[in-house]
Amino acid sequence: MRRVIVSTIVVCAVALLAFAYQDLKPGHNLLPELSNTKKVKYKTTWKITAYCPGRCCNTRFTETGIDDYTNCTAVGGLTLTGLLDAGIHVVAVDPSLIPLGSIIKYNNTYYIALDTGSAIKGFTLDILMAKHRQAHDFGVQYCDDIEVFIPENPGKVIKKIKAKAGVRKP
């Protein structure tokens, strides 16, 4: 009998822990959005690069000078460091292929498409990493196992992120 009680307690504890862990898992709070998404799996190989929030990865030379997007996301208002601090996984995409606000599953992690880049065209993903060293070490990788979840209303996902990560004052 004692054994039964002990194992019941253990089972309950494990279930409780699993439940608590669900809440901590990155991207979990975005998963309800997946029920309103269209899952698209392209039969292609994606090119994957990485970047950091710093000047090193966010400036572009133009004919008229330098465009500096340091710590800015394409969706506006949000800062890259604020998103990192909030534990949100950010990816830059080609918005003509993937609407901003879409959710992308790569390597068992859910990323949110919140940024763009002049070099991000077609089946290319640019993953935000906290440190330039990490982005540099990531280099260029290729993957054909990418799932894209396009929300019915991508703006709703962005709104949700803005509520969670805070919006920078203009």
Q: Is 151 helix (H, G, I), strand (E, B) or coil?
A: strand
- 72: contact with Zn ion by CB under 5 A: no
Backbone angles phi and psi of 131, in degrees to 5:
-115, 145
Considering the complex, state which of residue 8 and residue 59 has its C-beta at the smaller distance from Zn ion: 59
Looking at 29, 37, 47, 54, which residue binds Zn ion (CB under 5 A)? 54
Q: Tell me the closest approach of the beta carbon of residue 132 to Zn ion, in angstroms.
A: 3
CA 109 to CA 51: how far, in whole Å? 17
> Which span sits near Zn ion by CB under 5 A: 46-54, 65-73, 84-92, 103-111?
46-54
Considering the complex, state which of residue 39 and residue 133 has its C-beta at the smaller distance from Zn ion: 133
Would residue 76 be called left, alpha or beta, if left means φ above 0 and alpha means ψ between -120 and 50 degrees? left
User: Can you give the length of the chain in residues?
Assistant: 170
- 81: contact with Zn ion by CB under 5 A: no
Considering the complex, state which of residue 57 and residue 161 has its C-beta at the smaller distance from Zn ion: 57
Considering the complex, state which of residue 11 and residue 130 has its C-beta at the smaller distance from Zn ion: 130
Sorted by sequence, the CB contacts under 8 Å of residue 166 that are 6+ apart come out as 78, 82, 86
Q: Tell me the closest approach of the beta carbon of residue 127 to Zn ion, in angstroms.
A: 12
CA 138 to CA 38: how far, in whole Å? 29
Considering the complex, state which of residue 84 and residue 157 has its C-beta at the smaller distance from Zn ion: 84
> Which residues within the stretch 108-167 sit at the binding site for Zn ion (CB under 5 A)?
132
Could you tell me if 89 and 110 are in contact, meaning their C-beta atoms sit under 8 angstroms apart? yes
**Which residues sit at the interface with Zn ion, rule CB under 5 A?**
52, 54, 56-57, 132
